[in-house]
Structure 1
Amino acid sequence: MNKNITYWACQVGGWTIHTMFLIAMIGMFGGTNALNQGTIILQFIILIGLIISSHIYSLYVKQHQWHELAVKQLIPRALLGAFITSVIAQVFIHLIIYWLTPLNGIQPFSIVSFWGYVFNVFLVMCLWSTIYFSVKSSRKTRAMEVEKLALKAALQEAELMVLKNQINPHFLFNALNNIRSLILIEPEKARKMITHISDLLRYSIQFNASEKVALKEEVEIVKDYLQLESIQFEDRLKYELDISPETLEIPIPPMAIQLLVENAIKHGLSIQKDGGHIIIKTSKDPSNLTIEVVNSGQLQPKQKREGIGLNNLMERLKILFGPFAVFSLTNTENNTVTASLKIPLK
């Protein structure tokens, strides 16, 4: 609903309820004879006077931005504003009922009664001010929360893009180094590597435009990557894919599997004289997708396996899934290391 419509609905509705309360009190303590035409007209004039004066007060508050003040600064201003508004309202009401269109059946003007009415309206205006500034504070708080969330989302998007831009040169640099070593002595292998790099670059361009990709797309690029690396490692690299068919369409962060495989080769197989074996597994339960990359070798107690690519992957997972994505890297049986990644499905 439009803020102006809401404001005027509250203004008219609130002061009307106040007026009806006054009429009810007059009827209760003064009897039915007190509820005559003059009394009803008087209460209507009071209603108009309170609506106009409180609206003027709200315009002044907006113009001077009192809702931006601290509580200690606001309270004395609000009390003074409520008092001045009460005086203005009573001056307006008394001018009408005693001088402009005098009403019959009302008590003669009295300065004591005037200030008594001012005090009564002052109490009501204090309540009005409390409600008014509470609503303003609530709206300000909500606006700040929305702004904070929007800023956080923009920051996360920027962080994600930075991480992506760090990953792309990482695998490209390794691949180009491999080609450089083969281009003169084994040009046929070099041509094959260039084909695989082309596929990787094409995928990386799509990756920069996507937050997630289907797992089957990631598996295809991992095959290219493994073929690329197997040319360099020759017989020292063997790999096996154990991909569950029900996981193929599940969206995952781009480069997630590729980076796990790259990490396994760089920090596992490449430091072993005889190379080793890599197994890539995926499985699914009602809550999580599990991706496992198992490679030959063992982590040493102080060995650090998290390179730039793997660190970036973990940062992206944190941005996309918060604490619900779980990554682990552990020694497992049969002289292997297992990198396990669990991604929430919902």
Structure 2
Amino acid sequence: MKEDLWKNFHIQLSAHYVVILAMCMADYGLLLLLNKHLPYSKNIFLRIMADIVGISAICLILLWIFNFFIYNVFLVPEEGLPPFIVKFAFAMTTNVPILLVFELIHYFQSEQKAIADSEKAKRKILLFQHETLRSQINPHFLFNSLNVLSSLIYINPDNANKFTKALSKTYRYVLSLSQQPLVFVSEELDALDSYVYLMRTRFEDSFTFQIDRISDGERNKIVPLTLQLLIENAFKHNVATEESLLNIKITIDSDYITVENNIQPSSSADKGGIGLKYITKQYRIYAKEVTVKQTEGLFIVKIPYI
């Protein structure tokens, strides 16, 4: 009997290596399947049960294939070999560490990916703030502001002083955002007052501006300068005159901030600046979608809270 066992030892050893290799491949496939359809974050108890059921099924299937080849193909006698239950227990004690190693490898890879994604998101936010700042201090914006200020100095010194303070407050807010990826809605609205004052001084009675507070959403957070940039886009792409008023309305509710304006396309619209597309990308960093809707007479943008 011992001679028969040693005679077929190389066959059994080779078969065991094949089984271990197949077990590794099956465990990896099981890991990918469960991570896709039943991750730990969804239900940790069900995931552990699925792991146990999965490796048990893998062991049973591989042992059945192993026995078939050993006994039916290579015709190794069953006498003296361990029973099926012992082989199953051995397979389970082998398979559990294999799956555990794969789980740990996947965990550390996920952690590294999460860190890399976080750093990438931070870089995008910093780029957004840099581009926003550059947009605000571009020569065209400064030229218009200084031109208005120059006129006010001679016509109305008091208003010139107010305009200077509003301009200063606007830039101070922009410069303060270097360490703030998100701001409270209340902060954004406070800074928006100065910007609207600048626009009011420049365009006078050529537009209307209204804020409706349907619910208290001012303690929620949004990406900095979102409202200012949307208002800037409204002026950039539409005509604003006393004969054709540009009507801008901001609505604050429990889920969104809605910015809307009537559509009066300008033939000489400035196509520069950050634009709505770039704002949309910033909210996608936080898995939030900006809703853009255009009717026959209105352009509507709904900003989600973060």
Same fold, TM-score > 0.5, yes or no: yes
- What is aligned with 1:180? 146
Provide closer, same or farther for how the CA distance between residues 337 and 164 of structure 1 changes in structure 2, counting only shifts above 3 A.
same
184-193 vs 205-214, greater mean Cα deviation: 184-193
Displacement of 1:295? 3.4
Are 1:276 and 2:259 an aligned pair? no
Q: Distance in 1 between matches of 2:266 and 2:302?
A: 17
- What is aligned with 1:151? 116
Larger Rg: 1
- What is aligned with 1:325? 289
Match of 1:244 among 182, 207, 214: 214
More helix by proportion, 1 or 2? 1
Provide closer, same or farther for how the CA distance between residues 136 and 305 of structure 1 changes in structure 2, counting only shifts above 3 A.
same
Q: Distance in 2 between matches of 1:267 and 1:216?
A: 27
- What is aligned with 2:282? 316
| Per-residue Cα deviation, 1:104-149 (whole angstroms, up to 9, x for no partner) | xxxxxxxxxxxx799x9x9677654433332212211111112111
Match of 1:256 among 210, 226, 251: 226
Return 5+ residue gaps in structure 1 as ranges: 1-66, 72-115
Are 1:339 and 2:303 an aligned pair? no
* Conservation of the 8 A alpha-carbon contact between 2:211 and 2:250: yes
Q: Distance in 2 between matches of 1:183 and 1:253?
A: 30
* Conservation of the 8 A alpha-carbon contact between 2:184 and 2:221: yes
Say what the alpha-carbon RMSD is for the aligned residues. 3.8
Q: Distance in 2 between matches of 1:204 and 1:313?
A: 16
Q: Distance in 2 between matches of 1:263 and 1:132?
A: 58
One-letter amino acid matched to 2:302: L
Are 1:170 and 2:139 an aligned pair? no
Displacement of 1:195? 1.5
Provide closer, same or farther for how the CA distance between residues 299 and 142 of structure 1 changes in structure 2, counting only shifts above 3 A.
farther
* Conservation of the 8 A alpha-carbon contact between 2:293 and 2:300: yes
Displacement of 1:269? 3.1
| Per-residue Cα deviation, 1:286-341 (whole angstroms, up to 9, x for no partner) | xx2232232352599xx998952422211111112x2x433214134xxx433221
* Conservation of the 8 A alpha-carbon contact between 2:221 and 2:305: no
Displacement of 1:155? 0.9
Provide closer, same or farther for how the CA distance between residues 213 and 183 of structure 1 changes in structure 2, counting only shifts above 3 A.
closer
Q: Distance in 2 between matches of 1:309 and 1:218?
A: 18
* Conservation of the 8 A alpha-carbon contact between 1:247 and 1:282: no
* Conservation of the 8 A alpha-carbon contact between 1:298 and 1:337: no
Matches for 1:1-346 after TM superposition, within 5 Å: 128-173=93-138, 174-187=140-153, 188=157, 190-244=160-214, 246-269=216-239, 274=243, 276-285=245-254, 288-297=255-264, 307-320=273-286, 322=287, 324-332=288-296, 336-344=297-305
Provide closer, same or farther for how the CA distance between residues 343 and 305 of structure 1 changes in structure 2, counting only shifts above 3 A.
farther
Provide closer, same or farther for how the CA distance between residues 185 and 209 of structure 1 changes in structure 2, counting only shifts above 3 A.
same
* Conservation of the 8 A alpha-carbon contact between 1:297 and 1:337: no
Q: Distance in 1 between matches of 2:129 and 2:244?
A: 29
Secondary structure at the counterpart of residue 249 of structure 1: coil
Q: Distance in 2 between matches of 1:126 and 1:247?
A: 58
Displacement of 1:225? 0.9
- What is aligned with 2:48? none
* Conservation of the 8 A alpha-carbon contact between 2:185 and 2:219: yes
Higher RCO (CA-CA < 8 Å; seq separation 6+):
2
Q: Distance in 2 between matches of 1:242 and 1:127?
A: 64
Provide closer, same or farther for how the CA distance between residues 185 and 198 of structure 1 changes in structure 2, counting only shifts above 3 A.
closer
- What is aligned with 1:55? none
* Conservation of the 8 A alpha-carbon contact between 2:239 and 2:265: no
Count of residue pairs brought into register by the alignment: 226
| Per-residue Cα deviation, 1:247-293 (whole angstroms, up to 9, x for no partner) | 333322221211111110111135x68452333232424xx223223
* Conservation of the 8 A alpha-carbon contact between 1:295 and 1:337: yes
Provide closer, same or farther for how the CA distance between residues 273 and 283 of structure 1 changes in structure 2, counting only shifts above 3 A.
closer
Q: Distance in 2 between matches of 1:205 and 1:182?
A: 22
